[in-house]
Chains A and B, each alone.
Chain A
Amino acid sequence: MGGRQKNGGQKYADVTGLPIFLSPIFLSPIFLSPIFLSPHLPVTRLPCVSAARADAVPADHLSPPRRSGTVVAAQGSAGRSGVSPGVLFSHSEVVIDAQRLTRFYGRRVGVQDVSFQVAAGEIFGFLGPNGAGKTTVIRLLLGFLRPTSGQGRIFGCDCWRRRAQICRQVGYLPGDLRLYSWLTGRRALGILARIRGVPLLSAGRELAARFRLELDLPVHKMSRGMRQKLGLILALVHRPRLLLLDEPTSGLDPLMQDVLSDLLRERAAAGDTVFFSSHTLSEVERLCDRIAIVRDGQVVADERMEAMRQRACREVVLTFADLAAAQQLPVPPFLQQVTRIGTRWRAELTGSPTKFLSWAAELPLVDVALSPPRLENLFRRFYDAAQEDA
């Protein structure tokens, strides 16, 4: 629980001074609105629908959305959240809908015009270097920050206006997790069960067993990895329909990373949605169905993982039978960055290897080595472009 860094120039959050008191919003009738006097806000139902359907009818008048039924039925998860077995729902149900989300911190851009949609059952990777704006997007989606412009919707609900309702269906793990020092896993589950109005202890025990976490240990005696595990348990325990995880594997050992990956795959297979922010390429590559790359506060790529893989390059090493062939052969258009060292070519191959294999089959080669598609190179291109721009 050490000291934390304060972002330079973030005047938005430090409002001790008078101007905020004098802001016109405090002179409005809402200032004395009855809702303020009522601690019981309507949080038992989510009065919204998927963004795809929300356009037609006002959100307040619609019933809660239902999970992606095809997957649910196939996985036999019926009975949870009121989903009947065998009922087919739209696979394209939009869970997260960010439309031109923009957030300025004073004059500094946090994120600008970020738009993307995440469908039910997807594992969506949100990738970017440090300071790219990943956490800002998550904070906008959770209603911690108000967008300067644009709108974020989760389950069709406005993220800023209906954050408490949205949180009933969301599990969140902050990137920089801080927990109350007096908390133990068991106590946290007790409090959360009361707040959520559902028993959580048995599900919590199961998760604790999978993560190998002792539930009676207080947070102040926990290592960073143990705290991360507790944070994950608290995010997962109520079986949320959407998981917002900000760099969830940080602090976890490789074994626990695998446990988490398995859990997330299980949840996604059951129709839950996972929004996963990271700057670790390998875990995103391993887990995600689709990724968006954010750079300097803007989404610069948003593709399915398969499409990314097709665009990713492979490393190729060709060993020719004779030096003359190696030196004189013209470079085909599908190979890039060719380096010739003696009888050996080292190059990068982008796209499908079919053409390359037919071309190589006619050459006097003694050896061919072809690596799997390396997304890292593709990601690095985005990252490097960011650094060059800077």
Chain B
Amino acid sequence: MRGMLQKILHEVWLPTLLCCIGIFAFKALLTYALPQVMAGMEEILEKLPFAKTLITALLGTEVGSEVSARTMQAFLWVHPVVLALLWGFEIMYCTRTPAGEIDRGTIDVLLSWPVSRRQVYCCETILWVLAGVLLIVVGYLGHRLTVSTMPADMRPTWPRAAMVMVNLFGVYVAVGGIAFLVSASSDRRGRAVAVVFVFVLVSFLLNFLAQFWAPARHVAFLSVMEYYQPARILSSGIFPYRNVVILIAIGVSSWVLGGEVFARRNICTL
């Protein structure tokens, strides 16, 4: 196990570090910029009436007649750049094994070592989970760095922020589980990346469209983003047990299925 973990660490430490820096810096900047955006929000809404629809779509909840400070806090957790960094990392990480290994041909060497495919899969998973926790926590630390520049009513309390982080981790697990499943079923990393990318993009757009397009509302339950609602958590302070359970269930069942596919499939690099 230690040897496998060491091998995986060699491969992922740099992209993990870069993503951490990216999320940290972006959250710090966003936290710093949000009060200024908030100050000019009324003017923006007057000039661009559709901006309210876009904000509603992005947050996944009705923002009411005016955008409150609490609502603005949720931006920290739903901003497309934050999600793009998180998902980009996941797609990179989860498609490495086995799709990337088969694609490069290195799986021949890997599987000739005395490790079962399930061990390989579990080692990948351990570091994937740790990396997810790290990215989310580092994002929060970035926010904490500049939170003092926010007005007091805009600062999220620690328990509510923790609830949002758990919800975001649920999304991370769901997307990663699906990415592992796709990777386990594929011989080409490019193809696996494309499939997962389309999945997250469709999820994002479906959730976005469902806020103002009725037909999309009927199928919005298929989007993982439907189960991620930081604006509601921050305003109500209620932990979204149902959403988190659904996200974890999607992730774990896909992950288990991916593990079985990997353990039972034929592997040929020719």
Q: Is the CB of B114 within 8 A of A178?
A: no
Q: Is the CB of A4 within 8 A of B265?
A: no
Determine the residue in chain A with the shortest Cβ distance to B105: A178
Determine the residue in chain B with the shortest Cβ distance to A173: B112
Q: Is the CB of B112 within 8 A of A36?
A: no
**How many A residues have CB within 8 A of the partner chain?**
58
Q: Is A21 positioned at the interface, with any CB of B under 8 Å from its CB?
A: yes
Q: Is the CB of B260 within 8 A of A163?
A: no
Q: Is the CB of B191 within 8 A of A16?
A: yes
- The CA-CA distance from A6 to B187 in the complex, in Å, is 10
Q: Is A374 positioned at the interface, with any CB of B under 8 Å from its CB?
A: no
Q: What distance in Å separates the Cβ of B184 from its nearest Cβ neighbour in chain A?
A: 9
Choose from B105, B256, B269, B270 the contact partner of A36 (Cβ within 8 Å): B256
Q: Which of B174-214 contact A (CB under 8 A)?
A: 181-182, 185-188, 191-192, 195
Q: Which residues of A contact B10 (CB under 8 A)?
A: 180, 182, 187, 191
- The CA-CA distance from A244 to B182 in the complex, in Å, is 31
Determine the residue in chain A with the shortest Cβ distance to B186: A16
Q: Is the CB of A176 within 8 A of B268?
A: no
Q: Is the CB of B260 within 8 A of A174?
A: no
Q: Is the CB of A39 within 8 A of B261?
A: no
Q: Is B92 positioned at the interface, with any CB of A under 8 Å from its CB?
A: no
Q: Is the CB of A36 within 8 A of B266?
A: no
B1-19 vs A, CB cutoff 8 Å, 1 = contact: the mask equals 1111011001100000000
Q: Which of A64-123 contact B (CB under 8 A)?
A: none
Choose from A41, A135, A144, A196 the contact partner of B266 (Cβ within 8 Å): A144
Determine the residue in chain A with the shortest Cβ distance to B111: A144
Q: What distance in Å separates the Cβ of B222 from its nearest Cβ neighbour in chain A?
A: 16
Contacts A39-B1, A164-B115, A191-B7; A16 near B108 (Cβ below 8 A) = no
Q: Is A168 positioned at the interface, with any CB of B under 8 Å from its CB?
A: yes
Q: Is the CB of B108 within 8 A of A194?
A: no
B233-270 vs A, CB cutoff 8 Å, 1 = contact: the mask equals 00000000000000000000000110111011111111
Interface of chain B, main secondary structure: helix
Q: Is A35 positioned at the interface, with any CB of B under 8 Å from its CB?
A: yes
One of B58-66, B118-126, B152-160, B161-169 at the interface = B118-126
Q: Which residues of A contact B181 (CB under 8 A)?
A: 21
Q: Is A234 positioned at the interface, with any CB of B under 8 Å from its CB?
A: yes
Q: Is A311 positioned at the interface, with any CB of B under 8 Å from its CB?
A: no
Q: What distance in Å separates the Cβ of B161 from its nearest Cβ neighbour in chain A?
A: 32
Contacts A16-B185, A16-B195, A20-B261; A39 near B123 (Cβ below 8 A) = yes
Determine the residue in chain A with the shortest Cβ distance to B263: A36
Q: What distance in Å separates the Cβ of B258 from its nearest Cβ neighbour in chain A?
A: 10
Contacts A167-B112, A178-B105; A26 near B257 (Cβ below 8 A) = yes
Q: Is A7 positioned at the interface, with any CB of B under 8 Å from its CB?
A: yes
A1-36 vs B, CB cutoff 8 Å, 1 = contact: the mask equals 100111100101111110011000110001110011
A165-187 vs B, CB cutoff 8 Å, 1 = contact: the mask equals 10110111010111110100001
Q: Is A142 positioned at the interface, with any CB of B under 8 Å from its CB?
A: yes
Q: Is A192 positioned at the interface, with any CB of B under 8 Å from its CB?
A: yes
Q: Which of B1-52 contact A (CB under 8 A)?
A: 1-4, 6-7, 10-11
- The CA-CA distance from A187 to B52 in the complex, in Å, is 55
- The CA-CA distance from A176 to B269 in the complex, in Å, is 9
- The CA-CA distance from A13 to B265 in the complex, in Å, is 8
Q: Is the CB of B114 within 8 A of A196?
A: yes
14 A/B residue pairs, CB under 8 Å, sorted by A: A7-B268, A12-B268, A13-B187, A14-B188, A16-B192, A36-B260, A142-B112, A144-B267, A174-B269, A176-B105, A180-B106, A182-B11, A191-B3, A192-B3
4 A-B pairs with the lowest CB-CB distances in the bound complex, closest first: A194-B3, A195-B3, A178-B105, A39-B122
Taking A36-B260, A180-B10 as known contacts, 7 extra A-B pairs with beta carbons closer than 8 A to each other, sorted by chain A number, are: A13-B267, A36-B259, A40-B119, A144-B266, A167-B112, A167-B114, A180-B11
